[in-house]
Homo-oligomer: A and B are copies of this chain.
Amino acid sequence: MPRLLTLAGAQTGPIQRADTRAHTLDRLIALLEQAARAGAQLVVFPELPLTTFFPRWFIENTQELDTYFEREMPNANCQKLFDRARELKVGFYLGYAELTPEGQRFNTAITVGPDGQILGKYRKIHLPGSVEPRAGSRFQQLEKRYFEYGDLGFPAFRGAPEWNRPVMGMLICNDRRWPEGWRVYGLQGVELMVMGYNSAAYDPNGGESESAELRTYHSTMAAQSNAYMNATWAVSVAKAGDEDGSGLIGGSCIVSPNGLVVAQAKTLADEVIVAEIDLDDCLQGKEKMFNFAQHRRPQWYGRIVDQVGAEAPE
């Protein structure tokens, strides 16, 4: 008997700095409702969809910085989304900037069940960018300044009974390019990876750079290949388009355990993609080609944990 689940990716267009929180939340709710009408039981939103991608600016004023962060989840600013989702019996993956009671800041994502309960929480481990601003740059990438490295590891968890209890994992943006995170989830039997991202479409400072097309290809390939090599379904969802003068790629996609794209966004705007998946499609890979118990040889993988940077032979 197949283990079916209908999934949606809710790509958003740009969320401008000037947009109100209430306006943005209404957009997310509209996407949720559209996905629910298409039968989706789980909706994946992007990384940091409640605000603009603020790490592109050097913000020295802590009060201003705090406006981008959530002190609890849910909170008054996004309760409406949680309420509407529970009403529709739809779960969701949501990224947000987290400020803990102890004053720690993380780039975080949660997965919420159809009953409104938080099923899993993840804090981004592979933070890109820098701590110090680059002098003379119009735009920064200051995730390493504004966030601490995730401290929860890669904790797989079970999805809701209504979803056939898939083993789920979460990643955020840059994490999706790092096979280590995928493999740690793979070693927990992941069947469904959910991920949001904000990825630059070009170098906003005009340096030598890849095209938006190449960057979208990399984004899709990272999802395809890591889904294949871990025999899991994956949903990878963008905030896209021209956000406050800085371009973001789209390309949100749903990918099978064979590494095939089964749905992909066509625009750089608010757009819902949907697929009905069978979680048991993971079995062929997990039992044959990627049967880890039969084929892995960890005694030769030591450098992966013993070493951070590369060390070339003489």
Q: Which residues of A contact B (CB under 8 A)?
A: 125-128, 149-150, 153-154, 156-158, 167, 174, 177-184, 186-189, 210, 214, 217-218, 221-222, 224-226, 228-229, 258-260, 286, 289-298, 300-314
Interfacial chain B residues near A128, Cβ < 8 Å: 289, 295
CA distance A154 to B313 in the complex (A): 12
A167 pairs with B313, CB closer than 8 A: yes
CA distance A270 to B180 in the complex (A): 37
How far does the Cβ of A188 sit from chain B's closest Cβ, in whole Å? Answer: 6
Interfacial chain B residues near A286, Cβ < 8 Å: 310
CA distance A210 to B259 in the complex (A): 12
CA distance A214 to B310 in the complex (A): 33
B183 pairs with A310, CB closer than 8 A: no
Can you report 25 A-B residue pairs in the complex whose CB atoms are below 8 A from each other? A127-B295, A128-B295, A157-B313, A158-B313, A167-B312, A167-B313, A177-B289, A178-B295, A178-B296, A180-B301, A183-B301, A183-B303, A184-B303, A187-B307, A187-B311, A188-B311, A189-B311, A189-B312, A214-B260, A222-B228, A224-B225, A292-B309, A296-B309, A301-B305, A302-B305
Which residue of A217, A218, A306, A310 has the most chain B CB atoms within 10 A of its CB atom?
A: A310
B307 pairs with A304, CB closer than 8 A: no
| A-B pairs, 10 with minimum CB distance | A293-B309, A225-B225, A189-B312, A179-B179, A189-B310, A187-B303, A180-B301, A298-B305, A292-B309, A153-B300
Interfacial chain B residues near A150, Cβ < 8 Å: 300
CA distance A127 to B313 in the complex (A): 26
Interfacial chain B residues near A179, Cβ < 8 Å: 179, 182-183, 226, 229
Which residue from chain B places its CB closest to the CB of A156 in the assembled complex?
B313
A306 pairs with B298, CB closer than 8 A: yes
Q: Quick one: which of B214, B221, B226, B301 contacts A304, CB cutoff 8 A?
A: B301
CA distance A158 to B313 in the complex (A): 7
Which residue from chain B places its CB closest to the CB of A299 in the assembled complex?
B305
How far does the Cβ of A130 sit from chain B's closest Cβ, in whole Å? Answer: 9
CA distance A263 to B283 in the complex (A): 33
Interfacial chain B residues near A296, Cβ < 8 Å: 126, 178, 180, 308-309
Interfacial chain B residues near A187, Cβ < 8 Å: 303-304, 307, 309-311
B259 pairs with A221, CB closer than 8 A: yes
Which residue from chain B places its CB closest to the CB of A153 in the assembled complex?
B300
List 14 other contacts, CB 8 Å, given A126-B295, A187-B304, A301-B305: A125-B300, A128-B289, A153-B300, A154-B300, A178-B229, A179-B182, A184-B300, A187-B309, A187-B310, A189-B312, A286-B310, A292-B309, A301-B304, A302-B305
CA distance A156 to B307 in the complex (A): 15
Which residue from chain B places its CB closest to the CB of A182 in the assembled complex?
B179
Interfacial chain B residues near A221, Cβ < 8 Å: 221, 224-225, 228, 259
How far does the Cβ of A100 sit from chain B's closest Cβ, in whole Å? Answer: 19
